Structure 1
Amino acid sequence: MQVTVVISASQHRDKSFSGHSYTYQESISVSSAKLKGANVYEVYGTPVDCVLLALSGALFAWSKPLLVIVGVNKGPSCGNDMFSSSAVARARQALISGVPSLSISLNCL
């Protein structure tokens, strides 16, 4: 099984409550690396940009994934937080794109 990781770059992690926003009419850059056998892509854009790029086929050749897993983030993404959570938005974008998805969050350390 091939594991591919697409993450937001560090300077965009402050957008963790950006909801379902995506980059429009701006450039997005991507860097890649290998980490313990997995292909890792770091996207300089919003968290939803990560899912859009991954599922567009622009980053790598792929077949439709069986599952998209987003998170694991610190803090719960439940109740009203689901409307502003970028983790939930990434899972929602995958589902909108026709791929089953799962968003995971932790309510403790």
Structure 2
Amino acid sequence: MTSKKQKVAKEEPIILVTNDDGIAAAGIRNLVEAMKGLGKIVVVAPDKPQSGMGHAITIGHPLRLYEVELFEGVRAFSCSGTPVDCVKLAVDKILHRKPDICVSGINHGANHSINVIYSGTMSAAMEAAIESIPAVGFSLLDYGAEPDFAASRHYARLIVEKMLRKKQPRHFLLNVNIPKAPAEQLKGYKICKQAYAKYQEKFIERKDPHGRKYYWLTGEFVNFDKSKDTDVWALANNYVSVVPVEFDLTDYGLKQRLEKDWGESK
């Protein structure tokens, strides 16, 4: 007679798939393909592009959720909200439980270095991690109109297979970036730290036909970290970068110093 524990052990894992480029994006189609055969896939993604939304949530107007048929054999939902909204709604209203893993992407463009703060792709994964759901965000360093996702599919599957082999620590979260290169030219993945690199930004000022000023954000990406254990270095040298991420922003070194120097207020 099969025990209840044995039945639970035989159940396939539930894989929540989301992104920030929108449910119709090529990247999420490729991520769904990469996940097939690893578990029961459920897609909940924004109904339109949400790049740069970071960890925004919708509080000022109602959210809409529609079931759609975009992925053969996979249940999918289009959400009017942000990537973080998608994860929250998936857990509460669609799955009615926490999924076994959450995968976000494949983002059309890099999310290395400081970009992790602004990224809707990574914020969706981070929201899952906050809820103790092992999560990973995937991004391809390609801004072309028709990027080749073949290498991204391969490494997404490889990394998720590793994640599913055993129970992961609480709040497990990875930021994975794939170089723009044919799969045969990639050297494998490299566990990295986040580089200190950012955009030196400026705003271009223009005028509309009515003479009113408007601004376009632009800038140049600058890497201030030249060490060889960063995500920026790995990507430049044809490695897939894998950065463990945490959402606790406490500076523990500074905390200890302030405790020593400042003491406690009375």
Q: What TM-score do you get using the length of structure 2 for normalisation?
A: 0.38
Residue type matched to 2:40 in 1? Q
Q: How does 1:51-90 map to 2 (within 5 A)?
A: 51-56=87-92, 58=93, 60-90=94-124
Structure 1 residues 95 and 31: CA distance shift in structure 2, 3 A = same
CA distance in 2, matches of 1:8, 1:97: 20
Find the partner of 1:5 among 40, 43, 48: 43
2:62 corresponds to which residue?
A: 27
* Contiguous gaps of at least 5 residues in structure 2: 1-38, 148-266
What is the percent sequence identity of the aligned residues? Answer: 27
1:41 aligns with 2:66: no
CA distance in 1, matches of 2:95, 2:131: 17
CA distance in 1, matches of 2:84, 2:95: 19
CA distance in 1, matches of 2:58, 2:115: 22
Give SS of 2:122's match: helix
CA distance in 2, matches of 1:73, 1:24: 25
Deviations 1:64-97 (A, max 9, x none): 3221000101111011111100001001000001
* Higher RCO (C-alpha 8 Å, min separation 6): 1
What stretches of structure 1 move > 6 A for 4+ residues in a row?
A: none
Q: CA deviation at 1:62?
A: 4.4
The two structures, once aligned, show a CA RMSD in angstroms of: 1.3
Structure 1 residues 3 and 62: CA distance shift in structure 2, 3 A = farther
Residue type matched to 1:106 in 2? L
* Contiguous gaps of at least 5 residues in structure 1: none
CA distance in 1, matches of 2:115, 2:98: 29
Deviations 1:26-63 (A, max 9, x none): 1000110233110000000111100111112x1x2444
2:137 corresponds to which residue?
A: 103
CA distance in 2, matches of 1:83, 1:64: 24
* Maintained 8 Å contact 2:91/2:97: no
Aligned residues, how many?
Answer: 104
CA distance in 2, matches of 1:9, 1:61: 19
Residue type matched to 1:31 in 2? Y
